[in-house]
Structure 1
């Protein structure tokens, strides 16, 4: 899994150096598409500590692919302590509405898909 993050970073650098490609999706969107498809991009249920399932997998995957969170999360669908730390990091870095409460609601979902530049890879 770590190689996917490196591949994403390499794609971003190539696009930054070579310019954008007409009609091509952003490097982040292109890299996440095959990996973060546990739920629809428009299905954004509230995710809380101790939840399990595909929505948690989506959160874990998005943290791995889009954010600059320094620890790779296992995409296992279990909202445990490691996932909580990743969510708190995303919420704190992005300044989400409601603060760092560990609950993935609309503001956190938005920043998982579109992190602030300082919080992204």
Structure 2
């Protein structure tokens, strides 16, 4: 499980996977730091898959990071 403030290789992997999403969401730097930009993107990804927007990377969220939806009709927050 990863939450905001965590650092390390697992966070870097989550950043890399989240960057596979095309379109409007910004790319995250692969720095291994779970910061506010990563939290915002992760909550959006969770919402696209009908998951609670809690910003916690756990089992179900890891699954959607590895198998993203083709399209998300939820606009990325400004």
TM-score by length of 2: 0.84
Corresponding residue of 1:7: none
Give me the whole-angstrom Cα distance separating, in 2, the residues matched to 1:87 and 1:117.
16
- Structure 1 moving runs of 4+ over 6 Å: none
**Aligned positions of 1:38-77 closer than 5 A:** 46-65=1-20, 67-68=21-22, 70-77=25-32
Corresponding residue of 2:68: 115
Give me the whole-angstrom Cα distance separating, in 2, the residues matched to 1:79 and 1:48.
7
Corresponding residue of 1:14: none
Bigger CA radius of gyration: 1
Corresponding residue of 1:105: 58
Give me the whole-angstrom Cα distance separating, in 1, the residues matched to 2:25 and 2:10.
21
Structure 2 unmatched ranges of 5 or more: 73-78
1:62 CA displacement: 0.2
TM-score by length of 1: 0.55
Aligned positions, number: 71
